[in-house]
Amino acid sequence: MTDFCDLSKGKCKPCEGGVPPLSEAEAAALLAALAGWMREGSAIVKTYRFKSYYETLAFVNATAWVSHREDHHPDLAVGYSECKVSYTTHAIGGLSENDFICAAKIDALYSL
């Protein structure tokens, strides 16, 4: 498992099923390493806030770029000044380490 302190430097691994989702304990430990992320069913979610629609869409486009490079794509709910990011690994019906790595990368992107 990836070092908790350095999730944003991790590389997502292909996830096409065949592995179990993380246990509750594993997911809780990884979630504790991410500020502001919460469990919502079988996903982790965070809402990012912005000053304008332009900033929101710039974040959405940057998130799309990171997601494409990692080949791990979140659900995004976009409003005028906010974007809710939701990660889960559909292929396994729950959370994988990839969800937490990508969440950390999106946090790093937001802090730029």
Beta strands at 38-40 and 82-87: parallel, antiparallel or unpaired: unpaired
Q: What is the DSSP string of 26-68?
A: HHHHHHHTSTT-EEETTEEEEEEE-SSHHHHHHHHHHHHHHHH
Q: Is 4:94 a contact under the CB 8 Å cutoff?
A: no
Q: Is 46:36 a contact under the CB 8 Å cutoff?
A: yes
pLDDT digits (tens, 9 = 90+) for 20-67: 999 999 999 999 999 999 999 999 999 999 999 999 999 999 999 999
Instruction: Report the share of the chain in percent with pLDDT over 90.
Output: 75
pLDDT at 8: 59
User: Considering only CA atoms, which of 93, 91, 83, 101 is closest in space to residue 31?
Assistant: 101
19 band by pLDDT with thresholds 50, 70 and 90: confident
pLDDT at 2: 45
Asked whether the predicted pLDDT for residue 71 surpasses 60, the reply is yes
All structural domains of the chain, each given as residue ranges with its CATH number in brackets, are 21-110 (3.30.1360.20)
